[in-house]
Structure 1
Amino acid sequence: MNETKMQEKRLNYLLEEFKADSGKYKNMKIPDNMGEKQRILRSLMNIRMPKKMPDEVIKVQDEYLSFCAEEKGIVTLSEIPVIKENLSIWQGDITRLQVDAIVNAANSQMLGCFVPMHTCIDNQIHTFAGVQLREECNCRMEKLREKYGRDYEQPTAIPMLTDAYNLPAKKVIHIVGPIVNAELTSESEKDLEDCYTNTLDMCLENGLKSVAFCCISTGVFHFPNKRAAEIATETAAQWSLKHPDAMERIIFNVFKDEDKKYYEELLR
């Protein structure tokens, strides 16, 4: 059986297992279309609460996601050009990057995005890492709630380090960025600066030599894109001056052309 057929077999198996696991959707009729099947599986993964899954299901899920990663194309550090000193810009899907750590723009619950097929980076990372990521995040949050109380939520700019599971990266650093409700404030600017500083400090403490930052807070958190890029580049450059040779590479991962333009202007 060729790999494409094997992948379809894995997909069909996972659909039945995740349907049964959901309870609510156990009798859902699955269409024959491969694209629709993939979307349904991703949606079932997105809405699933953190809990254990049988080892045999996890094994097939991992095989399925590994093939997905290969299909999308894994991007190594050597394929990402250096723009200035140890800084790079890379446009595309952050889940393709084979680096020591990628940064996830998380929410204060730290469990990923539960909206089926949502386009946010939190959803993308949790989907292609696999359901183990949400389970690990939940375990870490439960320990923090035991310490700080049942209403504990992750504060802004405090990073959390997890494994990356089926992503090409080694680790994921989850961080809650500042939310801009009306006007941009100096407090929000300082919070965003702290996001970058604290993440780089975490890399240093854990021996992570390459990190890819997403555009923290510029999506549904409404931080102005240009100012966010200014803070990101300034903070990374200043941190690198204080910690020479600590990071082999700091990558600014952008998705929109607008963000790419800002970073290119700032780093030229």
Structure 2
Amino acid sequence: MEKLDQLLAILAPEMELPATRTEKEWLFRALRNIWEPRELPDAYWALQDQYLRENLAEKGVVRLADLQEVENQIYLWQGDITTLEVDAIVNAANSQMMGCFIPHHACIDNAIHSQAGLQLRLACQHQMAEQGYPEPTGQAKLTRGYNLPASHVIHTVGPIIEGQVSQADQDLLVSSYQSCLELAAEKGLKSLAFCCISTGEFHFPNQLAAELALETVREFLKNHPQIKVVFNVFKDQDLAIYQDLLGLHQENL
């Protein structure tokens, strides 16, 4: 636990450390989640990276070759996107584009930033400072993946649904998928994993979101045979929806 103790001492020097490893791990993630970008000693970065990569090794890395192609250039996989080794994973970001600041929040933004390390928040802060205004819905930005197995992260802000889904909401969700795909192609990426954009905290209906996502991806891939796309689902509900849309059965996956 010495490494963990050192990391906690850097991020919260005045705090009394908890006794157990589980409590220390919980606290370390919470501190990363609420971290406001500031100068940190060089020793922090090496220790953090070692810790995160050891944790990743314990969880296990999933490679594209481990997955089954269920349609031309398309894969469906249920699991933790932070363990997926592809050229880029898609993060469902908020308009501030700096990750989730709620400790241990069960959103994909929190999960991705937690595994990537604080470098990702710094990179996003730099991009947003250069931009000078919140990220518009339906666009996309690229960063490195840092301590993720994915080489890059593509961040997009999907539409937030309050009440009925409008045509404008649908168009914005399509734009998020389209922008991610176009950015991947522009940067020469060959494999891209999508989360279920906007269906969690942003309340886009899961069925409609999947229909729009699959339609957009299928159309794009017709002219981009070099790109492979993974639909990454976490919830059983989304898995069942995509299986139905792709004409699959559980036993075939």
| TM-score normalised by length of structure 1 | 0.91
Provide Cα deviations, 1:59-99, integer angstroms capped at 9, x if missing partner. 11000001011011100110111111111111111000000
Contact 1:52/1:135 (<8 A) preserved:
no
- Aligned-pair CA distance for 1:124: 0.6
Pick which of 45-54 and 156-165 moved more: 45-54
Question: Where do 1:112-151 residues align within 5 Å?
Answer: 112-145=99-132
In the alignment, which residue of structure 2 is the partner of 1:255? Answer: 234
- Deviation string 1:118-146 (CA, Å, 9 cap, x unpaired) is 1110011111100010001000100111x
* Counterparts of 1:203 and 1:36, CA distance in 2: 39
SS of the residue 2:69 aligns to:
coil
1-structure distance, mates of 2:208, 2:134? 27
The equivalent residue for 2:164 is 183
Using the alignment, how far apart are the partners of 2:110 and 2:199 within structure 1?
16
Paired AA for residue 34 in structure 1: R
Q: 2:147 corresponds to which residue?
A: 166
Q: Percent identity at matched positions? A: 46
Secondary structure of the corresponding residue to residue 119 of structure 2? helix
Number of equivalences: 247
Amino acid in structure 2 at the alignment position of 1:19 = A
Match of 1:76 in 2: 63
Give the unaligned 5+ runs of structure 1: 1-7, 21-25, 146-151
Match of 1:32 in 2: 19
CA deviation after TM superposition for structure 1 residue 255, in Å: 0.5
Q: Separation in 1 of the partners of 2:190 and 2:34? A: 33
Query: Given the alignment of the two structures, is residue 14 of structure 1 paired with residue 7 of structure 2, yes or no?
Result: yes
| 1:5 paired residue number | none
In 2, Cα distance between the equivalents of 1:218 and 1:225? 6
Return the alpha-carbon distance in structure 2 between the equivalents of residues 204 and 31 of structure 1.
47
Which residue of structure 1 aligns with residue 226 of structure 2?
A: 246
> Which ranges of 4 or more aligned residues in structure 1 deviate by more than 2 Å?
none
Deviation at 1:244, TM superposition (A): 3.4
Structure 1 match to 2:52? 65
Q: What SS is found at the alignment partner of 2:183?
A: helix
CA RMSD of aligned residues (A): 0.8
Indicate conservation of the 8 Å contact 1:101/1:173, yes or no: yes
Does structure 1 residue 210 correspond to structure 2 residue 203? no
Partners of 1:229 and 1:52 lie apart in 2 by 41
**Aligned partner letter, 1:9:** E
User: SS at the partner of 2:12?
Assistant: helix
- CA apart distance, 1:50: 1.8
Provide the rounded CA distance (Å) in 1 between the counterparts of 2:109 and 2:120. Answer: 11
TM-score of the pair, normalised by structure 2: 0.96
C-alpha displacement of 1:29: 2.1
